[in-house]
Chains A and B, each alone.
Chain A
């Protein structure tokens, strides 16, 4: 059993039946014996250590694992390894062995088509396939060709531009010099300098945490709570401990330091301590010789729970007498931010029209293409090091030092290449377990989340319920704004206090309003914790404000642009928190946007009111509406259109 490990380490051996695979991979003949249950992606990444192609979902949904088998594009996470026996496999690692970067890869680099880069290997493969199939593919055909690949960062536009550029250079319509760097100007600031990390991203050469291997490395898996709220009565890990290859089993009792951490409120243990507060909370961590052994150990650990009453609705959770989820948070209120400016009641009484409405925003998953992953090890000098896509290495280092009870200089965090974050990788939800396991075993330990685990465990965008009252004068002047916002913070605080602040401070929008009342309340529940997410509460509160202004414009019979123009902050404005601003470009932005869009002023929903139609459609910058299949059939509802465009499980025999 340990022979194979000494050979350089295979992911699983021994307990699993194996199969022999003979294939040609990137032009080289390979022959390996691997576990029967391997998929093509496992073979390529774990066995051959070709890590250019990524695994983003393991379920055929994201396209990051796309590679060619006998020239046909497949999602390698869906194909059993046996399918490549006798076949020729092409991965991103070797797409253009001679030139370093293929024409498409160069075009991606030129167009700025990679950001975090995690989707890019799969995108390049899918685009290569599209242009191989039809060198003259139209933009819509290219879109369809990439329809099974998700990119969370770029908005696709620059990716499509890149594929079109490559197509046009290939056909000779555009000279190859279009790939060159823009001529050097008098300044490097302001230039469209190509990204310095892009060549490594478009070729798959850059390493993310899950791409890293170390000699003698262990694999971590975690037992997670199936209950939203329960007391842990007993943990029985004896059977698991007896499995050969299990190197360590961790519970909260193994934490040597102060086991409380969080971004704003230290309310979270590294591993559940006595009680679990949401489905997916980590309870026991295992490090073992192989991933399969770690999984077997997790399955063999029995945790006995006593279920407790749970709270899923923040409004209910705030009631007197509701179950208390954290001792310190009265009525389960995690944070209540107040803005009070002027006299809202008096101003509302003076208004010509009062408009009230309630808005709800949903819980949103970050869906970065790279699931959480990390690699921890103890260096020769005793410094424990964690490499992971942490968005906040400074803070994580401090928290980790406390958890581990070590001086700060004996703790080192290295941010590995981040495959998308958007705020979702600010929380330190697994690095503590990794560091503990590395210290305990004196071996490197790697932990890679599955997509399901990532979705279940990581923080979400706070869902908000927003009650809005606005008073206006007949001419459109806002005299008072009142917002009462209740957000579901989930089981632990994470960034909730900051999110409540930001939603409150910015919520009433960039408008000059004399009388403002905002309550922004974040509440603990037994839902998945909510946390930091791009625009951090302001997305939700400003959404309500901007919808509400449109509703007010409708009520007043005004052009929504005109209503905004009247109220926007100008130079010297005072904000809702009474900060004096000097330069304010809000009006300039509005004018620039409507000029670019060719906005035709008037009330919303003109056609429904028998008024003359808008005349600003088909303006430069809008696209044709999309029809599946070369614009010949009418659009079908999304549910079915999706299965049309996502290549379903491709068989490759």
Chain B
């Protein structure tokens, strides 16, 4: 899936990643971690959307919509979330139909591990389905 990455001529647009956490600090830190682990070269756009508009703990539909618009390069946006209201808010925005870029998907994946897998995969030029599969696969990595 990585052969298209960085190929000369028609530069491939990368899938965008949005990280939604109840905490602005968590979203920003996981974005930094995932981008750092994706290594050098071109990395996929990764936009954190953490906390509420006024800086509190919670989920902001406005921040999520803005992050998705900013991460969108026209080839899809993968959204990863942490707990409860983050999941519900993204699902509600997707149900609205016009709040998020076309081809935006809520990815069912663990937040930190899934974010790393998604950013590495997206940065390699993979399409949205492959990014989603890589993030979801992080659930199968056991720590025992």
Pairing of A with B: no
